[in-house]
Amino acid sequence: MLGIHLQGSLLVLLTASIPLAFIWANAASILLFLKQDPEIAAEAGKYARFMLPSIFGFAIQECHIRFLQAQNNVVPMMIISGFTTLLHILVCWILVFKSGLGNKGAALANAFSYWTNALLLVLYVRTSPSCKKTWTGYSMEAFYGIRKFLKLSIPSAIMLSLEIWSFEMMVLLSGLLPNPKLETPVLAISLNTSSTIFMIPLGLSAAVSKDEQVVKYVGQMLLLIAASHLIDGIQSVLT
């Protein structure tokens, strides 16, 4: 049934990606309606349009990540993610600096990386012997489980959206300040830094294991990580 649930989630998320793509395509007009700086709105609109392909790649990626996590099969995800990250650095350098695309190149690099990660996960699930019992091919049964999936996913999506929107709302409000070209980038950089730090516990939660030895080592590492955050916080204040 796990493969059936994967197919159902793919149908739902890819369908939901269509209206999201429409919103992103009109991001500049929406930002202008929200009284944002015209120059910032125009650049954000360009970035959003070049990011459009990433929506569908991200949907496929997340479905397959949950599929593998449900089987406690996290090592392939780690390897694929590591490879994609290294490739992303090269692609970013080429598209942002060498091609002269600037922020549009950054958007394309993100889209490329999402699709690379998604396609590698799809390839692994379809060909790996470890997924033969859970992935048995496409089935019409996927349509019958969509209602149950929506009952769980809609409240979860609302909860997650409210959490993310609370941060993004601050960026929008910063655009209403007297000097939005200064305040908005400062706040955006601060939020990105916070998100980067958040990736550490998020990654640990995704790599959860029932192996007692792994749990023991992770517990020891968390003490070091906590100490490093404490020292880093003191350093930030002193500088």
19-75 per-position pLDDT tens digit: 999 999 998 898 888 888 788 888 888 989 999 999 999 999 998 998 888 888 888
* pLDDT of the residue at 60: 92
Average pLDDT over residues 101-124: 91
* pLDDT of the residue at 18: 93
Helix orientation angle between 180-206 and 38-50, rounded to the nearest 10 degrees: 30
Read off the pLDDT of residues 151-208 as tens digits, 9 standing for 90 and up: 888 888 888 777 777 767 766 666 666 666 666 666 667 666 766 776 666 666 655 5
Tokens linked to 239: 């500088």
Q: Which residue has the higher pLDDT, 10 or 2?
A: 10
Residue pair 60/81 in contact (Cβ under 8 Å)? The answer is no
Alpha helices in 175-211 (DSSP H): 180-206
Chain position carrying tokens 């009952």? 151
With a CB cutoff of 8 Å and minimum separation 6, the contacts of 133 are: none
* pLDDT of the residue at 57: 92
Buried b / exposed e along 138-168 (16+ C-beta atoms within 10 A): eeeebeebbeebeeebeeeeeeeeeeeeeee
Enter the DSSP assignment of 176.
T
| Nearest alpha carbon to residue 38 among 145, 234, 180, 206 | 180
Chain position carrying tokens 């640990």? 204
